[in-house]
Amino acid sequence: MSIQVFAPDGAVGGETRELAAPLDTLAERRLAILDNGKPNADVLMQRMANALVERTAVQYTGMSRKQTAATPCDAELLANLAQNADLVITGSAD
Across residues 58-65, what is the average pLDDT?
A: 95
In a domain, 65, yes or no: yes
More reliable by pLDDT, 1 or 25: 25
**Measured distance CA(87)–CA(5) in Å, rounded:** 46
* pTM reported for the whole predicted model: 0.75
Q: CA–CA separation, 17 vs 39, rounded Å?
A: 29
CB 69 within 8 A of CB 91: no
pLDDT digits (tens, 9 = 90+) for 74-85: 999 999 999 999
- Count of domains forming the chain: 1
Most confident among 20-29, 35-44, 55-64, 68-77 (mean pLDDT): 55-64
Domain assignment present for 63: yes
The 3-class secondary structure across 49-74, one letter per residue, is HHHHHHHCCCEEEEEEECCCCCCCCC
Residue pLDDT, tens place only, 17-36: 888 888 899 999 999 999 98
Average pLDDT of the chain to the nearest whole number: 88
Overall average pLDDT of the 30-53 stretch: 92
Contact call for residues 50 and 21 (beta carbons, < 8 A): no
Does 47 map to a domain?
yes
Which residues sit opposite 78 in a β-bridge?
A: none
Domain that holds residue 48: 25-69+88-92
